[in-house]
A and B are shown apart, each in its own frame.
Chain A
Amino acid sequence: NAGVTQTPKFQVLKTGQSMTLQCAQDMNHEYMSWYRQDPGMGLRLIHYSVGAGITDQGEVPNGYNVSRSTTEDFPLRLLSAAPSQTSVYFCASRGIGGGNTGELFFGEGSRLTVL
């Protein structure tokens, strides 16, 4: 079972460069989301989606774009990387048929360093 797959696992960027973090899930989950994790800050929600063609902002959306063209894929784009975006990024998905009680399944994370 693949679950949630994130790529790349590690990436180093220079300030101003752009890149896309890929996320794919094979569980037919409606809900997909991106979080960033920084020391002492827990997981902060960047963007989320409740289905193809539907996206919304989370707590810290600035500097990031998302799109949801299929149920399976939810890429996160950094438009012009900044050192403040150095973090570990997690993609997560869950089914929402049962309301807000379903398990959130996480990928293994993508560690991004911006120099």
Chain B
Amino acid sequence: TQLLEQSPQFLSIQEGENLTVYCNSSSVFSSLQWYRQEPGEGPVLLVTVVTGGEVKKLKRLTFQFGDARKDSSLHITAAQPGDTGLYLCAGARRSSNTGKLIFGQGTTLQVKP
């Protein structure tokens, strides 16, 4: 059983389309992060959300943390081929300083020109 469920697992769209990726759990997280991974490399942090209801924007990417801190979403506006990659959400379940992060299974995004 995956603690963090991401959907969809695979998304193939045309350049210019909008998309949303979801990260859901029945558990409460003290913070949630989104990472992007390209083939042959390790994941790289995009954003961290901490407060319930928080919205952060990174150019064409909008991240939201659910009010109850159990879920998050990533919305991409006018997707570009350069957005192609694996998107991973990761959560920290407790506020203690263990640093332990649990990842979702990932969403593979393919943006076709």
Determine whether B40 belongs to the interface, using a CB cutoff of 8 Å to chain A.
Answer: yes
Residues of chain B in range 84-113 having any CB-CB distance to chain A below 8 Å: 88, 90, 92, 94-106
Chain B residues numbered 22-65 whose CB sits less than 8 Å from any CB in chain A: 30-31, 33, 35, 40-45, 48, 50
In the docked arrangement, what's the CA distance between A35 and B104, Å? 12
Chain B residues near A78 (CB, 8 Å)? none
B99 contacts which of A42, A43, A100 (Cβ < 8 Å)?
Answer: A100
Determine the chain B residues whose CB is within 8 A of the CB of A106 once the complex forms. Answer: 42-44
Q: Which residues on A sit within 8 Å (CB–CB) of B4?
A: 42
On chain B, which size bracket covers the interface?
A: 20 to 34
In angstroms, Cα B88 to Cα A96, docked, is 21
Q: Which residues of A (20-48) have their CB < 8 Å from a CB of B?
A: 30-31, 33, 35, 40-45, 48
Most central of A35, A102, A108 by chain B CB within 10 Å? A102
Do B99 and A59 touch (CB < 8 A)?
Answer: no
Instruction: State whether B103 touches A44 (Cβ < 8 A).
Output: yes
Count how many pairs of residues, one from A and one from B, have CB atoms less than 8 Å apart in the complex. Answer: 89
Contact B30 A99 (CB under 8 A): yes
Which A residues between 76 and 115 are near B, CB-CB below 8 angstroms? 90, 92, 94, 96-97, 99-104, 106-109
Residues of B within 8 A of A109 (CB): 40-42
Q: Which of B42, B97, B103 contacts A100 (CB 8 A)?
A: B97
13 A-B pairs besides A40-B105, A104-B35 with CB distance below 8 A are A42-B6, A42-B106, A43-B90, A48-B99, A94-B99, A96-B97, A99-B31, A100-B92, A100-B95, A100-B100, A100-B101, A103-B45, A104-B101
Q: A: which residues have CB within 8 A of B?
A: 4, 30-31, 33, 35, 40-45, 48, 50, 56, 58-59, 90, 92, 94, 96-97, 99-104, 106-109
